[in-house]
Structure 1
Amino acid sequence: MRILHTADWHIGKRLHKTDLAKDFDLFINWLCEYLDKNPVDVLLISGDVFDFSNPSSESRNQYYKTLIKLKKFDLKIIITGGNHDSPSVLEAPKEILNQLDIHVIGQMPDEFKNCLIPISSENNIEIIIAAIPYLRSRNLQRQFDAESHDNKQEAIKESISYHFQETARLAKEKYPEIPIVGMGHLFATGASISESERDIQIGNLAGLEASHFGNSYDYIALGHIHKPQRIHAETPIFYSGSPIALSFSERKNEKRVLLIDTRKSFEPESIAILKFRDLVLIKGTLAEIEEKLEAIENEFQLKTLIEIEMQENEFSATLNYDLEQLIENFDKPNCEIVKHKVSFKNMTKVERGVSSTESQVSDFTPKQVFLKKLQGVDETEQTKLELMSAFEEILEELNRTEE
């Protein structure tokens, strides 16, 4: 049986106001071409289908058109919800999608057994998919409760672990001797993250060790981290990563999907995704930036996006003006400067106040803004952790209200 693992589609994502809808469509076209030449039996999508919990009508339309394209290849599709997804939005068309052999689990079911999806070939069950979505606070609190923050962190880990191990136990009980592939959307300890991952559970303190998954799984298909990578463990535990670059910190990542051929082993083959757009980060003095901009050439289908960071020693309003003029007059074909900032090594507080180095609030997520606020609060680290935990609970409640 051939299983393809992908995750973190983030349909509806914008990068510095640039809509990435074309990037995603090109990825799906590439994927369809791959499937046409390399048939698979099952496609796993491990969370964060959408970038927002309340996606636009355009994003939903793109999602459904994508499913129609993929179903032409006669495969089973299994989708789990991520932290960006609204469970109710994902599961709204669940009954219709089931008729098309598309299984959606947007939120953790009340009964763990309902996460188990048997995959058959020639009337024989060959694989069990344990489709576990992103686990929210209300899921975790069913198993554990802790009064102190330290205990709460350990309780979160133990509760997530319990969900995976109990689901695997039920699978082994109902389908003995059948291999199990788990799906999850979470942060695993040791994973390398980028700028575009947000809402990592309570400052990464709830990161799972490989041992938390137990030893019953033959492969674990993770989502949530956008950089493709393996978690060090005997069991193959992999993040497929996002199929397109979602931030400039991902500009050097080789995007991929992972193919598991169970007739050979559960070690996946990495399939590199064609690159459709270049993201370029330019740092240096004004003269160096001008030289680097002149050398840029677009070799890809979509517009090259450029970030600039001018780094000079002494503050100069003239340099700021010259940079603005350089950006305004930049006219390389199919290239666009989408963000710029300036930093001066030697600068007084007054000069810093009138410079353009200060970041805009819009550059940060709500969690990042709150973390910055906490840095200036005269409280103990323990109190700050408790405040961060409370803030995350409020954020989740607000998201639930939006749904």
Structure 2
Amino acid sequence: MKILHTADWHIGKRLHKVDLSQDFDLFIDWLREYLKKNPVDILLLSGDVFDFSNPSSESRNQYYRSLIKLKTFQLKIIITGGNHDSPSVLEAPKEILNQLDIHVIGQMPEAFEDCLIPVPSAQNTELVIAAIPYLRSKNLQRQFSAECHENKQAAVKESIAYHFQEAAKLAKKNYPHLPLVAMGHLFATGASVSESERDIQIGNLAGLEASHFGEDYSYIALGHIHKPQRLQAETPIFYSGSPIPLSFSERRNEKRILILDTEKSYEPKGISIPKFRDLVLIKGTLEEIKTKLVSIENNHPLKTLIEIELHEAEFSASKTYELEQLIESFNQPNCEIVKHKVIFKNKSEIERGISSVESQISDFTPKEVFQKKLEGIDETEDTKLELMSAFEEILDELNRSEE
């Protein structure tokens, strides 16, 4: 049996206000061409289908169009919710999708048996998928009883581990002797992250060790981290990564899908996804930036997106103005400057007040803004950790209230 592992589609994503829907459509077109020559039996999508919990009608249409295109290959599709997804949005068409052999688990079911999906072959059941979505606070409260922050952190980890271990226990009881594959959407210790991943769990401190998953899984298909990678563990535990770059910090990442052939091994083979556009970060003095901008060429189907960071030693309003004029007159074919930032190394406090370009509020996530606020208060580190924990619980509640 062949399994395709993907995750973090983030349909509806914009990168500095640039719509990435074309990027995603090109990925689906490429994936269809791959499947024509390399058929698979199961496609696993491990969370973050959408970029927003309340996706636009255009994003929903793109999602359904993509599923229809992939279903022409007669494969079973299993989808779990991520921290960006609204469980109710994902599960709204659940009954209809089930008839198409598309299984959606947007939130953890009350009964652990309901997240176990047996996969039949022509003769009998071949393996079992434990489709565990992103675990929210209400799921974790089953074992969440610690009072202080340190114990709370440990309790979150143990609660997440409990879900994986309990699912494995039930699978071994109900489907003895069958291989077991898990899906998850979480942060695991040792994973390399980029700036486009939003923190998950309380304080982003719930990173699981490989041992937390137990020893009963043949393969663990993770989502949430956008860079493809393997965790250091005896069990094959992999992040497939996102299929397209979602931030400039991912511009050098090779994007992949992962393919398992269970008749041979549960170690997957990485299949490179072609690059559909370039993301270019240019740093330097004004003269260096001018030289680098002229040398940019576009060899990909979509427009090249460019970020600029001007670095100068001394504050200069004229250089800031000249940079803005340079950006305004930039007309390189099929290229666009989407963001610029000015950094003066020796800028005085007064001059910092004059120029707000260096640190705009839009450059920061809500958590980063709150962290900066915490830096200015006279409290202990433990208190600050508790405040951050409470802040992220509020963010989680606000995201879920959008449903």
Q: What TM-score, normalized by structure 2, do the two folds share?
A: 0.99
How far did 1:376 drift? Answer: 1.5
SS in structure 2 at match of 1:207: coil
The answer for the alignment partner of 1:319 in structure 2 is 319
Distance 1:204 1:396 in 2: 12
Give the structure 2 partner of residue 33 of structure 1: 33
In structure 2, the partner of 1:309 is 309
Q: Which moved more, 1:97-106 or 1:114-123?
A: 114-123
C-alpha deviation, 1:396, in angstroms:
1.4
User: How far apart in 1 are the matches of 2:329 and 2:396?
Assistant: 44
Match of 2:47 in 1: 47
Between 196-205 and 46-55, report the one with greater CA deviation.
196-205
In the alignment, what sits opposite 2:241?
Answer: 241
1:291-345 residue CA offsets vs partner (Å, 9 max, x unmatched): 0000000000000000000000111011001101110111000000000001011
Question: What residue is the counterpart of 1:79 in the other structure?
Answer: 79
Cα separation, 1, equivalents of 2:65 and 2:372: 40
Q: Distance in 2 between matches of 1:228 and 1:371?
A: 28
Partner of 1:259: 259
Q: Which amino acid in 2 is paired with 1:172?
A: K
Q: Deviations along 1:159-187, whole A, 9 cap, x unmatched?
A: 00000000001000111110000000000
CA distance in 1, matches of 2:144, 2:351: 52
Other structure's SS at 2:234 match: coil
Unaligned segments of structure 2, at least 5 residues: none
Where does 1:117-266 land on structure 2 (aligned, <5 Å)? Answer: 117-266=117-266
Partner letter of residue 174 of structure 1?
N
1:13 corresponds to: 13
- Alignment match, 1:88: 88
Task: Measure how far apart 1:368 and its partner are.
Answer: 1.8
1:390 Cα offset (Å)? 0.7
Q: Distance in 2 between matches of 1:377 and 1:37?
A: 60
Using the alignment, how far apart are the partners of 2:147 and 2:124 within structure 1? 48
**How far, CA to CA, are the matches of 2:255 and 2:359 in structure 1?**
29
Partner deviation per Cα, 1:20-50 (whole Å, 9 max, x = no partner): 0000000000000000110000000000000
1:87–1:107 contact (8 Å) kept in structure 2: yes
Kept after mapping to 1: 8 A contact 2:136/2:201: no
Regions of 4+ moved over 3 Å: none
Partner of 1:358: 358
Give the whole-Å Cα distance in 2 for the aligned partners of 1:290 and 1:200.
Answer: 40
Moved more, 213-222 or 365-374: 365-374
- After superposition, the C-alpha distances for 1:179-206 in whole angstroms (9 at most, x for unaligned) are 0000000000000100100133233311
Q: 2:203 touches 2:389 (CA, 8 Å); kept in 1?
A: no
Separation in structure 1 between the aligned mates of residue 145 and residue 121 of structure 2, nearest angstrom: 42
Measure, in 1, the Cα distance between the counterparts of 2:384 and 2:202: 11
Gapped regions of structure 1 (runs ≥ 5): none
Assess if the C-alpha contact under 8 Å between 1:134 and 1:185 holds in 2.
yes
Q: Contact (CA 8 Å) 1:120, 1:127: kept in 2 or not? A: yes
CA contact (8 A) 1:285 1:311 kept: yes
| 8 A contact 1:342–1:356 mirrored in 2 | no
Indicate the residue corresponding to 2:57 in structure 1: 57
CA distance in structure 2 between the partners assigned to 1:367 and 1:331 by the alignment: 36
Scaled by the length of structure 1, what TM-score is found? Answer: 0.99
**Root-mean-square deviation (Å):** 0.8
Q: Does the C-alpha gap of structure 1 residues 389 and 203 become closer, same or farther in structure 2, counting only changes over 3 Å? A: closer
SS in 2 for 1:152: helix
Alignment of 1:361-380 (within 5 A): 361-380=361-380
Percentage of identical aligned residues: 78
User: Displacement, 1:143?
Assistant: 2.4
User: Which amino acid in 2 is paired with 1:64?
Assistant: Y
CA distance in structure 1 between the aligned counterparts of 2:175 and 2:243, rounded to whole angstroms: 33
Query: Structure 2: how far apart are the matches of 1:201 and 1:402?
Result: 18
Aligned length: 403
Q: Tell me the distance in 1 between the aligned counterparts of 2:77 and 2:54.
A: 22
Q: What letter matches 1:192 in structure 2?
A: S
SS of the residue corresponding to residue 309 of structure 1 reads strand
Match of 2:387 in 1: 387
The whole-number CA distance in structure 2 between the counterparts of 1:237 and 1:401 is 32
**C-alpha separation between the residues in 2 aligned to 1:41 and 1:231?**
25
Please report how far the alpha carbon of residue 371 of structure 1 lies from its aligned counterpart in structure 2 after TM superposition. 1.5
1:19 Cα deviation (Å)?
0.1
CA offset digits 1:222-264 (Å, max 9, x no partner): 0000011111000000000000000000000000000000010
